[in-house]
A and B are shown apart, each in its own frame.
Chain A
């Protein structure tokens, strides 16, 4: 084994840097997760629609963002997109767009799959009592479909939170980037990246616990069997 003297104590005075990074990671994650859960509904419904004016653009969107690396998307939004629209873009915004749109492409597919999994008899029963499309979706289809989507969403949310670390490449001051800066200043990359890894785990593991809890609850909630 290579001789190396670990010295974590050295990092204690810099706890503020780690905290600052963690807060940006949390902020970025929360924005990306909530916006993708929200916008995913609309893209997913457009994908499900038989109207080609909705369906085709939504399909193009999903295919583009699912089939290019999220890292490339972040970099593209930071360097190329500002040139196209002619305004400078902060790294944070570029990261929100890159990770967020990638996430939206995935969540929209979860919504579409969930909606499609609902038996067509549910649509017919709502139609037969005179319910229009929008209220059928809102009152009958989505409440059932979302329950089935929860495990898939939990996975997606964890993936999204981890993907925010890629924003370090465009100098967004999230956890990994703060670590990189410290590593350059202190020449202690081994301790610093170890702390970063542990902090990511502490931030993300509760999401995994939450997803287990949800799955257990869904299994035992017998009274509403779908």
Chain B
């Protein structure tokens, strides 16, 4: 094993503005191999935007993102002391295959079967032949326990099953890190567990991940590191025990008292 441990993903002084709205105000975040990092905070705190900047679904206004030690983009100026970058679409396409993402709304392709959903990126983006793509798709659908639904269309599946297919679709691209954006927020309560379990299994299997979630119990059990965002800055961070059980900051405490059903 190499002892050279470059972070898989490193964000420095990240800023994001939507027009006049300054959503992220200088965020630093380092993701090492095998990490499970949870981002928590109230709506509008910027946690989803931060996640979406990490795979360039949103382009950062300023600040750097490095994947496997390689800076993404060309430096072209500065903003509030942070470097500003220009990005080429080709480069971003490559980055997105290294950083997988799962969405709140699943966003499965409704006109394709479960299997075709998972194979699409392999065949179209990775230019893999069908047999090899099928092998990888099968392996990943088995990981989320849905191989038996391979020939179904998404509309025939429950929300929880659809979300697990979305996880398999992202996993199939064999990303270095997975981003989960409130993936249980649009599920019926009884379906949340199966999705969280799939994510927990992945984490135990060594998958590196950054998870935006309102499920604090999940954050407590799965994350090694919890970050509390407020008004576009990281207000408090540490182990789940430090941040969720013994918060130092007043804001963190105020946020946590909003969760009455928060059991460990």
List A residues at the B interface (Cβ < 8 Å). 119, 121-122, 124-132, 135, 139-140, 143-144, 147, 222-226
Contacts and interface: CB of A to CB of B under 8 A. Distances in A.
Given A128-B55, A129-B96, A224-B155, A122 B170 contact: no
B103 A129 contact: no
B93 interface: yes
Interface stretch (B13-21, B70-78, B80-88, B104-112): B104-112
A125 B107 contact: yes
Nearest to A135: B124
Contact of B153 (A122, A124, A131, A223): A223
B89 A132 contact: yes
Contacts of B121: 129-131
A129 B98 CA distance: 9
21 contacts: A119-B107, A121-B103, A124-B57, A124-B107, A125-B169, A127-B96, A128-B57, A128-B100, A128-B170, A129-B97, A129-B121, A130-B93, A130-B94, A130-B97, A131-B124, A139-B120, A223-B153, A223-B156, A225-B110, A225-B153, A226-B110
A129 B108 CA distance: 12
Nearest to A130: B97
A126 B125 CA distance: 10
A207 B233 CA distance: 61
B128 to A, nearest CB: 13
Contacts of A222: 155
B155 A129 contact: no
Contacts of A147: 111
**Residue of B93, B96, B110, B169 with most partner-chain A CB within 10 A:** B110
Interface residues of B, number: 27
A193 B156 CA distance: 54
A131 to B, nearest CB: 6
B101 interface: yes
- 3 smallest A-B Cβ distances: which pairs? A129-B121, A125-B107, A225-B155
B111 A144 contact: yes
B105 A128 contact: no
Interface in B206-247: none
Nearest to B156: A223
A224 B173 CA distance: 25
A129 B166 CA distance: 11
Contacts of B153: 223-225
Contact of A129 (B89, B94, B156, B170): B170
B175 to A, nearest CB: 9
B134 to A, nearest CB: 17
B109 A129 contact: no
Contact of B110 (A128, A139, A224): A224
A121 B93 contact: no
Contacts of A125: 103, 107-109, 166, 169
Contact of A122 (B89, B96, B97, B109): B109
Contacts of B89: 132
Interface in B121-169: 121, 124-125, 153, 155-156, 166, 169
Among A119, A129, A131, find the residue whose CB has the most chain B CB atoms closer than 10 A: A129
A78 B225 CA distance: 74
Contacts of B105: 119, 121
Contacts of A144: 109-111
A225 B110 CA distance: 7
Interface centre among B121, B124, B169 (most CB of A within 10 A): B124
A188 B100 CA distance: 75
